[in-house]
């Protein structure tokens, strides 16, 4: 793609589509490596923890290891963001997928509790920490890479497509889990077939690294590199010194985005099995349908952000979040025959996932853009995504409407953030992504 200036043609060129497609596909393969764990949380809880432990406690500990990956995001994200701002977006963009794939492959080869005892959950925990560090560098780098390539007037669409690509990784996980549940019996999955999706993730990682070698550095960074001598300090230090006022809205919007993903992708597939008694194969199939419509919703939301502005789109989709999730859980509670349609509605209503990046990339100057996004996004995501799945699953026996109430609160947070910060930040957020110095 070409540099982001107001004089650029309106239509996307062939190179624009190529860059966007490669970035989105590579991101999908990396997110698959990270998320496949959650689709096999029940199976892993039986394999990596003592059999005499109560089932609810094993599941809770399995989810605890999963969310530990989120806690590791800030460390990897801040480290890789520093080099993305100093050495280039493309280098870190390619490194992160390799660091994600290797632990995924090792999980597929790992001995279980029956073979090595308590070393098994400890080794699993170590792999999740490495994966968390890798995804912490992937998402902010991907946002900035695509946004800095995007033509004027198409940034929202480009980021919406990228988010659809990232969430397509969730879909790959759901489809893989669905296919395995059809091809193998529960006993066979518990015996050996659970390893297949993790070994497949290692293959995906190699493909992802190969795909990203065809990408070019962003024009914004190339222009920045030409006058690098003017930037002598650490990017994160500059963010904390001169742009602290941008950290709070970035963190709040990250929590809203995280909430949509946690409820739709992480918690609901497990809740459908545990709380509502749906068979695993049906739960995975419904989850896959919801993710398809989340992908569509991200692209639609990106188009809307280009038309009405990123902040207004955030306000709109914050309002839609709770009603969409309410439709889904009302259908679950009523055991409705229209559950698939309800999941699709919920996926479309979670379009906030597709519009938040359009705001985030405009909050920070080019010299420190990846560091600013990575610092706020990864810390907020780590804290929110590591606690809310456990809390929602723990509270679900109290009321099946817990996830809906949670989305009401988070939708209000997104709306208030857009109302308070949107008016003063709209011009900067929708402007071309050039250096502000």
pLDDT, position 436: 36
pLDDT, position 358: 92
Neighbours of 57 (CB within 10 A): 12
State how far the alpha carbon of 43 is from the alpha carbons of 109, 110, 191, 280, in Å. Answer: 15, 14, 10, 11
Give the total residue count for the chain.
Answer: 437
Cβ neighbors of 270 (< 8 A, separation 6 or more) are 38, 41, 42, 59, 63, 393
pLDDT, position 169: 84
> Measured at the alpha carbon of residue 345, what is the angle toward residues 304 and 323, in degrees to the nearest 5?
85
Quick one: 228 exposed, middle or buried, by C-beta within 10 A (0-12, 13-18, 19+)? exposed
pLDDT, position 57: 72
- DSSP single-letter state for residue 12: P
CA 430 to CA 394: how far, in whole Å?
40
User: For tokens 């590199």, what's the residue?
Assistant: 225
Q: Give the distance, in angstroms, between the CA of residue 351 and the centroid of all CA atoms in the same chain.
A: 13
- DSSP single-letter state for residue 88: -
Q: Which structure tokens are listed for 335?
A: 């055991």
Is the distance from CB of 89 to CB of 221 less than 8 angstroms? yes
Q: Residues 395-415: pLDDT tens digits?
A: 888 888 999 999 999 999 999
Crossing angle of helices 195-212 and 155-183, in 10° steps, is: 150
pLDDT, position 234: 72
> Measured at the alpha carbon of residue 167, what is the angle toward residues 219 and 302, in degrees to the nearest 5?
55
Given a cut of 50, the residues of the chain with pLDDT beneath it are: 1-9, 229-232, 427, 434-437
State how far the alpha carbon of 140 is from the alpha carbons of 166, 273, 396, in Å. Answer: 12, 33, 32
Q: Is 364 helix (H, G, I), strand (E, B) or coil?
A: coil
pLDDT, position 71: 73
Is the distance from CB of 74 to CB of 109 less than 8 angstroms? no
CA 91 to CA 212: how far, in whole Å?
9
CA 403 to CA 259: how far, in whole Å?
9
User: For tokens 């080019």, what's the residue?
Assistant: 366
pLDDT, position 303: 92
In this prediction the pTM is 0.79
């Amino acid at each position: 793609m070409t540099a982001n200036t107001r004089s650029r043609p309106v239509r996307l060129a062939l190179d624009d589509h190529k860059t966007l497609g490669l970035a989105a596909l590579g991101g999908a393969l990396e997110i698959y490596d990270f998320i496949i764990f959650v689709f096999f949380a029940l199976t892993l809880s039986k394999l990596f923890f003592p059999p005499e432990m109560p089932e609810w406690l094993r599941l809770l500990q399995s989810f605890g290891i999963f969310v530990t990956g989120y806690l590791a995001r800030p460390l990897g994200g801040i480290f890789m963001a520093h080099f993305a701002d100093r050495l280039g977006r493309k280098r870190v963009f390619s490194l992160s997928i390799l660091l994600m794939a290797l632990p995924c492959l090792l999980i597929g080869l790992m001995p279980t509790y029956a073979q090595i005892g308590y070393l098994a959950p400890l080794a699993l925990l170590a792999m999740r920490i490495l994966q968390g560090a890798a995804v912490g560098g992937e998402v902010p780098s991907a946002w900035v890479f695509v946004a800095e390539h995007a033509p004027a007037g198409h940034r929202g669409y480009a980021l919406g497509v990228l988010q659809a690509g990232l969430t397509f990784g969730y879909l790959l996980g759901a489809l893989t889990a669905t296919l395995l549940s059809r091809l193998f019996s529960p006993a066979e999955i518990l015996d050996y077939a659970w390893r297949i999706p993790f070994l497949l993730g290692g293959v995906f990682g190699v493909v992802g690294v190969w795909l990203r070698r065809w990408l070019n550095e962003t024009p914004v960074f190339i222009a920045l590199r030409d006058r690098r001598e003017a930037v002598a300090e650490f990017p994160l230090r500059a963010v904390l010194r001169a742009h602290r006022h941008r950290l709070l809205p970035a963190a709040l919007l990250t929590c809203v985005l995280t909430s949509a993903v946690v409820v739709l992708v992480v918690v609901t597939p497990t809740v459908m099995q545990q709380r509502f008694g749906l068979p695993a194969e049906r739960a995975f199939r419904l989850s896959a349908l919801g993710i398809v419509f989340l992908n569509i919703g991200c692209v639609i939301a990106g188009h809307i952000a280009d038309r009405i502005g990123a902040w207004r789109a955030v306000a709109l989709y914050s309002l839609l979040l709770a009603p969409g999730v309410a439709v889904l859980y009302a259908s679950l509670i009523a055991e409705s025959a229209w559950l698939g349609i309800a999941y699709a509605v919920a996926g479309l209503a979670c379009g906030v996932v597709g519009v938040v990046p359009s705001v985030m990339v405009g909050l920070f100057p080019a010299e420190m853009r990846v560091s600013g996004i990575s610092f706020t996004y990864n810390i907020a995501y780590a804290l929110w995504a590591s606690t809310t799945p456990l809390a929602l699953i723990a509270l679900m026996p109290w009321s099946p409407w817990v996830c809906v109430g949670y989305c009401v609160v988070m939708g209000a947070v997104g709306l208030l953030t857009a109302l308070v910060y949107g008016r003063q930040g709209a011009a900067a957020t929708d402007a071309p992504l050039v250096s502000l110095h």
